[in-house]
Amino acid sequence: MALMCKSHRLRGHRPLSGPSQPMGASPSPVWSVMVNYFKRPFALDLIVDSLLRPCQNRGLACEVIVNVDNPHEAGMWARQTTKWGGSLLPIFSANLHESRGYNRAAKAAKGKILIIWQDDQTGPGDAAWMLDLAKLYDTYPQIGIIGMNTYRLCRNFEPTNRWGSPSWEPDPRTGVRWTYAQMVDFAPFVVRSELYHELGGLDEGLSKPGECGIWGDWEMSSRSWMAGWQVGFYNLEGRGNDGHPGGTHSYVSGEKCWGRQQHVASFSFGKRFDYGELNDEMCNRVWELNMGAFTISNWQDCPYRREETNWGNCTRAGSPEYPDWPPPSPSEPAPVP
């Protein structure tokens, strides 16, 4: 089993910080929020303030790295930089857009954790979610990516993405409610800096300069599993928006992104990763990790063998099956002891 063998490689991986200095309280940069920005002057103050002020209030070491894809707004960004000092770093480009913009921002980021953030999103009023992420990253050193938008537990057996809080009880090791996932979506999309650079960042070969980065999230999720890392999902409560349509949702750019670019990137993804045996192995690995880490208070809360994920089960060996619960097919995982 390739994925399981590769996962053994990281079982001795050291946490980001020792017990005497939790990651969330580190005086050195920890959080680098990366924004690819393009022509949203009406939201500039709101976006930056919603990301940096909660960090300031919690005493967290955060920075915001912005790839500014339209340099004619340089004066506005200069004023923001004066306001926030070294916590804000704009990098000026010329319509690199999306995967190239985030990769460029990642090269300038000093944080141990990189957060891909979209330029039409605003952060919650409190940075408690960063403290939750710090607990997860410190407790589980193999976790490389944590999605905070939507997710899949087993892609080929799910009709659409999942969203909202996972149905598992909070993780007993951290007190945080989350789940392992096969794939997670942009954005926010949180990645260890170590992993981001190990993988070479987002795949720029899936799109031309100036194009959206659709499918880059699933592609990086898949490469992370293949490299021996793990992927999870945490539901971010309180995320907002700037009240205007996103840049990829206008008529012209929407067709370029959700039409043509969707076709190109999905075809490339399918050629690399859309194989039954590989997908089954990833699904089994995610299921195994979830069954080993989490419990449910009611069998009806099981996220498997339902309309959303028509595969798997929540049955453990040595315990009776839940009432009316279909047993797994021969191709599905055996109960976890």
Report how far apart, in Å, the C-alpha atoms of 137 and of each of 60, 130, 141, 294 are.
Answer: 16, 10, 6, 17
Q: Which amino acid is at 290?
A: N
Q: How far apart are CA 295 and CA 135, in angstroms?
A: 19
The model carries a pTM of: 0.87
Token reading at 267: 């075809």
Assess contact for 213 and 93: CB atoms under 8 A.
no
* Rounded Cα–Cα distance for residues 193 and 91 (Å): 18
The phi and psi torsions of 12 (rounded to 5 degrees) equal: -100, 10
| Selection from 123, 150, 122 nearest residue 242 by Cα | 122
d(C-alpha 97, C-alpha 69), whole Å = 7
Digit-coded pLDDT (tens) for 30-64: 999 999 999 999 989 999 999 999 999 999 999 99
Average pLDDT over the chain, rounded to whole? 86
Contact present, 216 and 203 (Cβ < 8 Å): yes
Beta strands at 31-37 and 62-68: parallel, antiparallel or unpaired? parallel
Q: What are phi and psi of 233, to 5 degrees?
A: -135, 135
Q: What is the pLDDT of residue 49?
A: 96
Instruction: Yes or no: say if 23 and 53 are a contact pair by the CB < 8 Å rule.
Output: no
Place of tokens 């957060």: 115
The Cα 302–Cα 217 span in angstroms is 26
How many whole angstroms separate alpha carbon 179 and alpha carbon 54? 25
CA 118, 47, 175, 12 dihedral sign is positive
pLDDT tens profile 231-270 = 999 999 999 887 776 655 455 567 788 788 888 999 999 9
| Residue 85 pLDDT | 86
The CATH homologous superfamily for domain 26-260 is Spore Coat Polysaccharide Biosynthesis Protein SpsA; Chain A (3.90.550.10)
Question: What pLDDT shows up at residue 11?
Answer: 40
Tokens for 21? 């200095």
**DSSP states of 22-89:** -GGG-SS--EEEEEEE-S-GGGHHHHHHHHHHHHHHHT--EEEEEEES-GGGHHHHHHHHHHHGGGEE
Domain boundaries, the chain: 26-260
Q: How confident is the model at residue 3 (pLDDT cuts 50, 70, 90)?
A: low
User: Of 20, 236, 49, 269, which Cα lies nearest the Cα of 132?
Assistant: 236
Share of the chain above pLDDT 70, in %: 82
Tell me whether strands 113-118 and 31-37 are parallel, antiparallel or unpaired.
parallel
d(CA 46, CA 173): 35
